[in-house]
Amino acid sequence: MELSEIISQSGITFSYLGIERIPLTPYSMRKALQIFDALGKQRKSGFVIDSENRFLYENLLRWAHSDGEMQCLHPRTKQIIKADTTKGIFIAGGTGTGKTWALELLSSYCALHNIRVRKGEKIYMLSFPSVRADKICMDYMNQGSFDSFINSPILCIQDMGDEPKESQYMGNREEVIKRLLSIRGDRRDRITLISSNIPLNHKLMTDTYGDRVVSRLEEMCNYFELVGKDRRRM
Q: Residue 122 has what pLDDT?
A: 86
Q: Residue 40 has what pLDDT?
A: 92
- Torsion from C-alpha of 90, 168, 149, 220, nearest 10 degrees: 30
* pTM score: 0.89
Q: Are 197 and 162 in contact (CB under 8 A)?
A: yes
Q: Residue 156 has what pLDDT?
A: 97
Task: Count other C-beta atoms under 10 Å from residue 129's C-beta.
Answer: 10
User: Angle, nearest 10°, between helix axes 176-185 and 133-143?
Assistant: 100
Q: Residue 233 has what pLDDT?
A: 62
What type of residue sits at position 38?
A: A
Report how many helices (DSSP H) and strands (DSSP E) the chain contains, helices first: 8, 12
Q: Residue 203 has what pLDDT?
A: 96
> Low-confidence residues of the chain, pLDDT below 70?
1-17, 230-234
Q: Are 67 and 60 in contact (CB under 8 A)?
A: no
Q: Are 52 and 226 in contact (CB under 8 A)?
A: yes
Q: Residue 99 has what pLDDT?
A: 92
Q: Residue 13 has what pLDDT?
A: 41
Q: Please, how many CA atoms are within 13 Å of residue 39, restricted to the half-sphere of its CB?
A: 20
Q: Residue 5 has what pLDDT?
A: 52
Q: Residue 15 has what pLDDT?
A: 45
Instruction: Give the separation between CA 46 and CA 69, rounded to whole angstroms.
Output: 29
Instruction: Give the separation between CA 181 and CA 34, rounded to whole angstroms.
Output: 34
